[in-house]
Amino acid sequence: MTAPAPAAAPAAARAMPTGATTGTPTRTATGTTGTTITTATATATTARTRTRSTAMTALAATPGIDVMKQVNRQFVTGVTVVTAMDGETPRGLAVNAFSSISLDPATVMVCVQRTSSTHDCLFRAGHLAINILSTGQLDVVGVFAGKSADKFRQVDWESGPFGSPLLTGSSARVEAEIRERLQASTHTIFICRVVHADVAEWPPMVYGAGKFFDGGALAPLG
CB neighbour class for 21 (10 Å; exposed up to 12, middle 13-18, buried from 19):
exposed
Instruction: Identify residue 169 by its one-letter amino acid code.
Output: G
Report pLDDT for 18. 46
CA-nearest of 67, 42, 216, 196 to 133 is 216
**Letter string b/e over residues 28-52, b meaning 16 or more CB atoms within 10 A of that residue's CB:** eeeeeeeeeeeeeeeeeeeeeeeee
pLDDT recorded at residue 77: 92
What count of residues does the chain have?
222
Q: Which amino acid is at 16?
A: M
Cα 137 from Cα 23, distance rounded (Å): 81
| Same domain, yes or no: 37 and 123 | no
Answer with the one of 13, 35, 62 that is the final residue of a domain.
Answer: 62
Residue 88 domain flag:
yes
- In this structure, the answer to whether residues 107 and 188 fall within a common structural domain is yes
Round the CA-based radius of gyration of the chain to a whole number and report it.
34
Are residue 121 and residue 98 in the same domain, yes or no?
yes
User: Residue ranges of the chain with pLDDT lower than 50?
Assistant: 2, 6, 9-22, 24-37
pTM of the model: 0.71
191 assigned to some structural domain? yes
Position 28 scores a pLDDT of 42
In this structure, the answer to whether residues 91 and 193 fall within a common structural domain is yes
Domain shared by 55 and 75, yes or no: no
In a domain, 10, yes or no: no
Q: Cis ω on the peptide bond leading into residue 105 (within 30° of 0)? A: yes
pLDDT of residue 100: 97
Instruction: Tell me the residue range of the domain where 32 lies.
Output: 27-62
Say if 89 falls within a structural domain: yes
Are residue 94 and residue 186 in the same domain, yes or no? Answer: yes
* C-alpha torsion angle, residues 110, 111, 115, 117 (rounded to 10): -10
d(CA 176, CA 195): 5
